[in-house]
Amino acid sequence: MDGNRSDNIVYDLSEYQQYNQDGSIKHIEMSTRLDFNENTHSVVMIGVSRNVTTQKIHQQELIETIKSQLILIKEFQVVDNDKPELQVYFFGKFRVLNSHVKKPIKWRTTKTEELFAFLIENDKPYVSKDKILESLWPDLGIEKAAKYLHTNTYNLKKDLKSAGISFQLELINGFYCYDVQNIHSDLAELRSMIKTVGVDYENFDDEEVDKIEQVILLYESDYLAENDYLWATSQSAFYRKQYEKYVFTLARYYFFKRNYPSTERVLCKLIEIDNFNENYHELLLQAYLFDQDYISFVDHYKELKALFLMELDQTPSPSIQGLYKKYQDSVEVSRNNKNVKTDL
């Protein structure tokens, strides 16, 4: 405030005005600075206000707001720091993304990329040198294959380092050991689901449903479908079987809960993978019927029948044909009932 403030009492001033000795009135400019002490979680407000009560109320509200915001920021920073450095995708085409910059890792050679895929797909943080040689270079002699392995491990670490990723890979007693704590993959999600989710759909809880739904989102195609990795063939068949088993169980769960739109959505995902599985088609047709979506029911049945005749030279199963016949019979009964009412 100005040092020429008058001591006289004046009643018609606002809280942001000052009466001076010369009889003039000055407007007070508010100036506030907040200092936060991270150790004590306290805030000191330095500023000017003629109304002490208003200042204290405003100060307390501001302090609480600042504290809550700082806590949220710190929590966000902790979560962000714990975020895996690499996001690895096995389903479809093998891809490795730097989580921090959302960019794919550039590999020096396709064999270096395959080596990293082979290491990370292993569910343990180590794998024997002999197993790597047999899987990645099965047609080469041990000495030549070992040279290739040495070159590609060097390239692997160098490629990751250039992307700002720290990846410890050491050969200890015939085993390559590495740390996968900062790596997350869609394969890990599927494996976790297999270990923790049962197949008794009548007793599913929300967490189990969410885990299967998450896997549906991640399963873009079969395991390493776009990579010619010979060692991945058996795993691909296994993971596809597990995926179909759990997703079909989820479809039955939704049907059991009379959630027919979700049943239809999940079954369509399965049919994209296996278009000749009659169990999927039959449950989908039932869902259309219970959902009273008769147009979709008829269209799907006709498309299925045409597909089977063209590709397999046979008609759908008797149970599927039975569903269609029941539908036709119900339509005929309904039509006859209408005719009877019209005659009356």
Q: pLDDT tens for residues 182-239?
A: 899 999 999 999 999 988 888 889 999 999 999 999 998 999 999 989 999 999 999 9
Q: Strands, E, within 150-229: which ranges?
A: 169-172, 175-178, 183-185
Query: Average pLDDT, stretch 127-138?
Result: 95
The backbone region for 98, taken as left when phi is positive above 0, alpha when psi lies in -120 to 50, beta otherwise, is beta
Percentage with pLDDT > 70 across the chain: 74
In CATH, the number for domain 187-343 is 1.25.40.10
Question: pLDDT at residue 9 above 90?
Answer: no
Average pLDDT over residues 257-276: 96
Residue with tokens 């504290």: 67
Give me the mean pLDDT over the 310-325 stretch: 95
pLDDT value at 1 more than 50: no
What would you measure as the largest C-alpha separation in the chain, in angstroms? 109
Q: How many CB atoms sit inside 10 A of residue 136's CB? A: 20
Q: Do the domains at 86-184 and 187-343 have one common CATH topology?
A: no
Residue 76 has pLDDT above 50, yes or no: no
Which residues are CB-neighbours of 101 under 8 A, at least 6 positions away? none
Instruction: Summarize pLDDT for 160-186 with one digit per residue, the tens.
Output: 999 988 888 999 999 999 988 889 999
pLDDT grade for 126, boundaries at 50, 70 and 90:
very high
Query: What are the domain boundaries of the chain?
Result: 31-81, 86-184, 187-343
Note the CATH architecture for domain 86-184: Orthogonal Bundle (1.10)
Residue partners of 305: CB distance under 8 A and separation at least 6: 315, 316
Q: What is the overall mean pLDDT for the chain?
A: 82
Is it the case that residue 47 has pLDDT exceeding 80?
no
